[in-house]
Amino acid sequence: MSICRAVRGESWGLSGRRRSRRGKKRSPARALEPNLTLLLTLRKSRPALSAPEEDIHPPHHDVNPGLPIQKLQDIQRAMELLSCQGPAKSIDEATKHKYQFWDTQPVPKLNEVVTSHGPIEADKENIRQEPYSLPQGFMWDTLDLSNADVLKELYTLLNENYVEDDDNMFRFDYSPNFLKWALRPPGWLPQWHCGVRVSSNKKLVGFISAIPADIRVYDMTKKMVEINFLCVHKKLRSKRVAPVLIREITRRVNLEGIFQAVYTAGVVLPKPVSTCRYWHRSLNPRKLVEVKFSHLSRNMTLQRTMKLYRLPDSTKTRGLRLMERRDLHQVTELLQKYLRRFHLAPSMGEEEVAHWFLPQENIIDTYVVETAGGVLTDFTSFYTLPSTVMHHPLHRSLKAAYSFYCVHTVTPLLDLMNDALILAKMKGFDVFNALDLMENKVFLEKLKFGIGDGNLQYYLYNWKCPPMDPDKVGLVLQ
């Protein structure tokens, strides 16, 4: 499964200052969208200043013996098409693109009307046993994220080469602990933390990962993976490393008997199963303006803007408290029952719920609502993804919260999410982001979220099903 989540979220530019093609100013909080996933910036990037040229450039070698030439050329053409001609942001734009790579993959065509359910290709029986060959001068390395030095190497690679805005003002800052949380859920495999190093000095210059997930699509639950954190050093993006990374993680996943995946992208590829939109709620307007992350709208002063977005000093919902381990059983039951409403959703047991929801400072926050009798009726959660603010004399980081899962049975959703905003503000977040999936449209406008100017497409690899509206999507990817 050649899944390239390189185009997820804001891989194509995070700046809140640039105007869109429609002439409208970008939503200020767009600068913090992670998606995720996000992974490989295919647009031309500024060269990294931190590494000497000779540290990362082994001798040039034109032939990659591990890949069939035609297949390699197809992958390169697909990536060059996205890189040079610009990504398609709408179906209309996408119909004008040639998807030479994706047209060879088990995904529906853009103009295909899908009414059936099931795999596009049968599971493979004969899977390549040996790793694909990298260009000369590079070597594979399975990263041991329990090793603090290795984890720091990965953090540095992502921090210096992952997603940044076109104006070089903001860059995602995944903390080492966040990376362990995102990359080591129940069922994770060490061989799915796939790194590439320079053979001569062992410098880490590339990475790709997969994590397992049980995903229900309509009435069928399948074992799938999410491909995440595809990252290649900026100076190596013409060295054919990314296509080999994708093929290698595909091979490793196939060896475990998994042939389907779910992924998201900020651009249109063949073929979205659903299209969602990000919305953003300002929590710290003064800071967002000071770092030029957002701008005051016409006829609005800073004081009026701050008053507009002001929140109460305390939460409203009685019985709201931080989730504890003793809550696992009830939270799991609430989540499982709630997610049955949707056509695309994860299937989580208590082990998965413990990993993804138990609070960890600066990673994940979950709050439950408990009655006087000890029954949990609702919960809300959000995860943390800051961005580094570059070239600012005062501010070094912008802290963003991302709505995760919010389940309500007694407390009105509007009240529960308003309390989530208050809690995020109390914890020092600057902006709160949410997609318009599940029931989120109920609160977005009423709680003063602003609509973003870009979509987030959901895709399935090697699985076809009818498309669905955003309010039928019950899956949030980190």
| DSSP-derived secondary structure for 306-350 | HHHT---SS--STTEEE--GGGHHHHHHHHHHHHTTSSEEE---H
CA 140 to chain centroid: 24
Q: Are residues 269 and 392 in the same domain?
A: no
Which pLDDT belongs to residue 36? Answer: 28
Which pLDDT belongs to residue 228? Answer: 84
330: containing domain: 275-459
User: Of 224, 245, 274, which residue sits at a domain end?
Assistant: 274
Q: What is the CATH number of the domain that holds 104?
A: 3.40.630.170
Total structural domains in the chain?
2
Query: Which H/E stretch holds residue 75?
Result: helix 69-85
Q: Are residues 263 and 284 in the same domain?
A: no
- For residue 294, how many other CB atoms are within 10 A of its CB? 25
82: in domain: no
Residues contacting residue 313 through CB under 8 Å, at least 6 positions apart: 422
User: Of 237, 258, 274, which residue sits at a domain end?
Assistant: 274
User: Of 274, 302, 320, which residue sits at a domain end?
Assistant: 274
- For residue 460, how many other CB atoms are within 10 A of its CB? 25
Residues contacting residue 251 through CB under 8 Å, at least 6 positions apart: 127, 128, 131, 132
Q: Are residues 333 and 250 in the same domain?
A: no
Check whether the bond before 271 is cis (ω within 30° of 0): yes
Q: Are residues 204 and 315 in the same domain?
A: no
CA 407 to chain centroid: 21
pLDDT by 10s per residue, the chain, length 478: 333 322 233 222 222 333 333 333 344 333 333 332 322 222 222 222 233 334 555 544 444 455 565 555 555 554 444 444 566 888 888 888 888 777 888 899 999 999 999 999 999 989 999 999 999 999 999 999 999 999 999 999 998 887 665 566 788 889 999 999 999 999 999 999 999 999 999 999 999 999 999 999 999 999 999 888 888 999 888 777 877 888 899 899 999 999 999 888 777 989 999 999 999 999 999 999 898 878 888 888 999 999 999 999 999 999 999 999 999 999 999 999 999 999 999 999 999 999 999 999 999 999 999 999 999 999 999 999 998 888 888 888 999 999 999 999 999 999 999 999 999 999 999 999 999 999 999 999 999 999 987 789 999 989 999 999 999 999 999 8
